[in-house]
Amino acid sequence: GSASLGLKKLRIGMIPADGVGREVLPAAQRILEALGSRIPKPEFTHLDAGFEYFTRHGEALPQETVAAMQNDVDCALFGAVGSPTRKVTGYSSPIVALRKKLNLYANVRPVHSINGIDPRHVDMIIVRENTECLYIKQETLTTTEENGKEARATRLITERASKQIGRMAFRIALARARPEQPAGLTIVHKSNVLSTTDGLFRESVRAVMQENPDWSDASKIVVGEQIVDSMVYRMFREPEAFDVVVAPNLYGDILSDAAAALVGSLGLVPSINAGDTFVMGEPVHGTAPDIAGLGIVNPVAAIRSAALMLDHLGYTEPAKQIEEAVVDVLKEGVRTKDLGGSATTEEVVAAIEKRL
């Protein structure tokens, strides 16, 4: 989208949340600031959320944060959110809630290897439905004589949301099509077991092909399917066979971690949560409690998430420049511990900054 082109300033909500989220968001901020006049002057607003916030205030996502996202900022960056190690009454993941409340229906996660560093060629974009599936969190608990406690969760798949994510996937695929080299689009499901829910997902994604002649043109996009278990297997055996991958929420969650493992580290993989009117960048990694606060977390995923966010807003050139700077720095060997290097967060940020 290019809705934000022509802004005087770019108001960015910053939600570091927990753990290393508090280190990688400042890193992304510095890189955005280093772009100077290439983007509208960024204006950062700190917004609260997270498990740590919950332990102090009794809520993980304050209403002010949601309201600010809806009214006061043009886009946002999210850090990472901690998970309680035991069931905590009243706690519910703020990232899952934000995705739903702002209808950020698409979670787009590009994963690609770097020539000369990674042994395998990986260049895929995982397009994950972001609002339904088991993430609606409708769960019940009862007790029966036979089974003791019985817990049930509802998995919801709608035609509307599946078509919506399908359209996003086809748009992304079409943009990757080259003359003589059609893009690939793989629909992931488990309709051999879940014939109704996953059957609906598969059918709905296929149905949108008819809405655009380019989408149903096999010289531009080749559509395929994989059952989720077999997809994980094949992703590891022949990652080069996959291009754009579209999946229901939970499968997309698992597949993006699988893809991240192929390119060396979760610390490299960015995402955006995108809706029709708002976009929120978010690194795919978690809070990394073992290294939080040590200044050694890999800032690349967050920096790339900022770039993806810019790209989504129509600032394609500065987004590309960030990505090129990141790749240069990684190739030069300025790498954090997760990549086998010894650079600090600060050293990586400074190196990327210098190149911009």
Chain residues in the site for its own copies (CB under 8 A): 83-85, 87, 91-93, 96, 134-135, 137, 139-141, 146-161, 163, 190-197, 199-200, 203-204, 225, 227-230, 232-233, 236-237, 250, 253-254, 256-258, 260-262, 266, 286
Number of amino acids touching ligand IPM (CB under 6 A) = 9
Give residues with Cβ within 8 angstroms of 161, minimum separation 6. Answer: 105, 129, 131, 132
Closer of 4 and 204 to its own copies (Cβ) = 204
Residue 153 within binding range of ligand IPM, rule CB under 6 A: no
Q: Nearest 5°: phi and psi at 279?
A: -140, 140
Q: Which residue, chain included where needed, has tokens 């022949």? A: 238
Give residues with Cβ within 8 angstroms of 107, minimum separation 6. Answer: 99, 126, 127, 128, 129, 130, 252, 256, 271, 272, 273, 274
The residue within the footprint of ligand IPM, chosen from 193, 207, 241, 294 (CB under 6 A), is 193
Residue 192 within binding range of ligand IPM, rule CB under 6 A: yes
Residue 135: closest CA among 167, 165, 97: 97
Which tokens in the block code for residue 202?
């598969």
Distance CA 262, CA 264 (A): 6
Q: What b/e string do you get for 113-132 counting C-beta neighbours within 10 Å, with b at 16 or more?
A: beeeebeeebebbbbbbbbb
Distance CA 218, CA 245 (A): 16
Closer of 60 and 343 to ligand IPM (Cβ) = 60
The residue within the footprint of ligand IPM, chosen from 64, 159, 229, 317 (CB under 6 A), is 229
Closer of 135 and 215 to its own copies (Cβ) = 135
Residue 228 within binding range of ligand IPM, rule CB under 6 A: no
As measured in angstroms, the least distance from the Cβ of 198 to ligand IPM is 12
Closer of 4 and 305 to its own copies (Cβ) = 305
As measured in angstroms, the least distance from the Cβ of 344 to its own copies is 22
Amino acid at 119: P
Residue 139 within binding range of ligand IPM, rule CB under 6 A: no
Distance CA 98, CA 94 (A): 6
Stretch that binds ligand IPM, among 10-18, 90-98, 138-146, 158-166 (CB under 6 A): 90-98
Residue 330's binding partner among its own copies, ligand IPM, none (Cβ under 5 to 8 angstroms by kind) is: none
The residue within the footprint of ligand IPM, chosen from 96, 102, 173, 260 (CB under 6 A), is 96
Radius of gyration for the chain, computed over Cα atoms and rounded to the nearest angstrom: 20
> Which residues inside 6-35 make contact with ligand IPM, applying CB under 6 A?
none
Which tokens in the block code for residue 231?
């997809």
Residue 306 within binding range of ligand IPM, rule CB under 6 A: no
Most distant CA pair in the chain, distance:
68
The residue within the footprint of ligand IPM, chosen from 12, 28, 34, 95 (CB under 6 A), is 95
Which stretches of the chain bind ligand IPM, using CB under 6 A?
Answer: 81, 93, 95-96, 192-193, 229, 253, 284
